[in-house]
Structure 1
């Protein structure tokens, strides 16, 4: 039976969900507080990352977070604050950062990333789109032997998981990237990964969805959600009231503000990331992570993007110039003679990534609300997991067997 579905949130997760719901013949409306031109879905590194199978909440991250807390240029920063939601999230993060929980998460994260990559390729092959998509893999570039050994351990685990991984010397990297002038000791190369240009894909997908009948309510803020006997009866925005058979919550870092209205506790903290675009020739053709600096580098459609940092400090879009300079310094340190200009740094932007405590997104229905499907908490993998999440949500609403086991993504899971 075709259903009338409202999607709250028009980022990559919301748009991909709309895409698959429309394929199933449903009526779809999308509400977003922005005009669909900015946010995390537009400023991310554009990675599709089967290589990123280790969740953020891994052993050792708590100690690193404490150490980096006092360094304004650190790649991972948690601002301590006396806020009950933050404190509950931090405690859940600590409990999730164990070897046993990470081991359980690894095959789950790998599987959903591979599904999503394959779905991106299906969308591209449909010939309804012209967006930039390349599968050139990912270089994990390191400058020290210690970090190289750490990355190779992850690479070896990737091989155990069936991924194609190689340990490359500096000379072997230079064969792959002859014009990038990399100043490194070596790299771990994952052939499983792909990359895109988010600012190509997002407007193209919006345009496509409109041609298929999707209705967009932009610059519209959800003020309240009316719940009657465990079922959402009404969505109240600053402009109107809407009714639907099913509601999808894909509002990213703002999702917990809305679940609270339903009496649901979905632990999510906003993790701010920054990006700098370099609109000139860099010689970079393969995406790379600059390991010691935790900076992502992506050759996009007509420019190169440098992105990085994870700053958990609440919902705000304040640009910290120290963090921008840190990304620029990394570019210069890893790529000889690559100097990011003052103008490029001044044009930097940021976005908020919704982080769950255990590094796994929330995908599924809560037992407390019959017609709500949650799709949030993807952290740094939001772009990578867009199609897979959209497909899974569509299968849930259409009452089909899901493409993956959803137990690990249960919104009601305990930490």
Structure 2
């Protein structure tokens, strides 16, 4: 099968690329190894966060990471193993975790996040996608002195970068968001953030693309990129070959595995995250939370609410570690009164792998060779 553009990966990046390419008049094919939106794009926290402008590679992460890395219940966990690519990645991560690079990368991440926020705000109403999209901001909540210091630092950085942020004391929290009974000490409010239900957004966007002639092929794992004359001439799958003038690699955490056969080393690690979703039996909160010390997101999505968290470097595997799920649930109780621990503990957990670069910046742009691979 032949097309103008072949997109490898049917997650949020792949489908959004397909949307804008189709809008510009391109014939597009999307290849997805599982079902559309079934990977990291399915069960994540659903946050659209200009407030996430500080890269993971920062001096603060190093200080906390040394305490966390080998603790299986911590927000940032490394499963020890002999993996040369992992240790190369860690070395580059350590090199990037300094103030100079952090300050260089923060405005880059902020510009990308603000552009993303604007595009979601245009695309969703234009296509009438029902995905519980809300533009209510986000509360970065802290419970103790260390969290307060981190939140104050975030607010200071935001002010330098020109991103609106407001300090909220404990007395103001409940009046600002009555949907939670707060135990937290205070928060920073980021009014430019938004949130949605990622699975609903993906399903709605996929339907629009199919109706407009984009060919979406689920359960079509790419086996090899065949290269000739410095270009990808064929994308081989178990269901046959696909050819296109341009190939867009949007396979997320699996991208390095596809590039390895071409001799291309992409310094990217799969970072496992977990989420648990529970139906609501009362009116939903308006504003999502990020629990600063616990690194847990609490996101209302229509008639459900989702807890999401952890960054686990354990390779390309999706096994769910009950201790880590339990840590997410139990840590939430330190911020929210009356949190029903037993009810949450009975619910099934989801896991997904997000791509994680050493310096926190995304890989965007064409390869020198193959020259038609982006």
* 1:37-64 Cα distance to aligned partner (Å, 9 max, x none): 5221011111111101000011142343
Q: Which residue is equivalent to 1:104?
A: 104
Q: How does 1:13-412 map to 2 (within 5 A)?
A: 13-36=13-36, 38-281=38-281, 284-342=285-343, 345-373=346-374
Checking the alignment, whether the CA contact within 8 Å between 1:75 and 1:294 is kept in structure 2 is yes
CA distance in 1, matches of 2:82, 2:294: 29
Checking the alignment, whether the CA contact within 8 Å between 2:329 and 2:344 is kept in structure 1 is no
Aligned-residue offset at 1:128: 3.7
Instruction: Structure 2: give runs of 5+ residues left out of the alignment.
Output: none
Aligned-residue offset at 1:331: 2.3
* 1:163-205 Cα distance to aligned partner (Å, 9 max, x none): 1111111111111112310101111111110000112101101
Aligned-residue offset at 1:146: 2.7
* 1:96-141 Cα distance to aligned partner (Å, 9 max, x none): 1111111110110000100110011111231442332111111111
Aligned-residue offset at 1:207: 0.5
Checking the alignment, whether the CA contact within 8 Å between 2:278 and 2:347 is kept in structure 1 is no
CA distance in 1, matches of 2:300, 2:14: 25
SS of aligned partner of 2:371: coil
Instruction: Structure 1: give runs of 5+ residues left out of the alignment.
Output: 374-415
Normalised by the length of structure 1, the TM-score is 0.87
Normalised by the length of structure 2, the TM-score is 0.96
Q: 1:126 to 1:10 in 2, by over 3 A?
A: same
Aligned-residue offset at 1:368: 2.0
CA distance in 1, matches of 2:346, 2:264: 40
RMSD: 1.6
CA distance in 2, matches of 1:34, 1:111: 32
Checking the alignment, whether the CA contact within 8 Å between 2:70 and 2:78 is kept in structure 1 is no
SS of aligned partner of 2:59: coil
SS of aligned partner of 1:124: helix
CA distance in 1, matches of 2:10, 2:230: 25
Checking the alignment, whether the CA contact within 8 Å between 1:264 and 1:368 is kept in structure 2 is no
Q: Which runs of 4+ in 1 moved over 2 A?
A: 60-66, 127-131, 281-285, 340-346
CA distance in 2, matches of 1:274, 1:119: 27
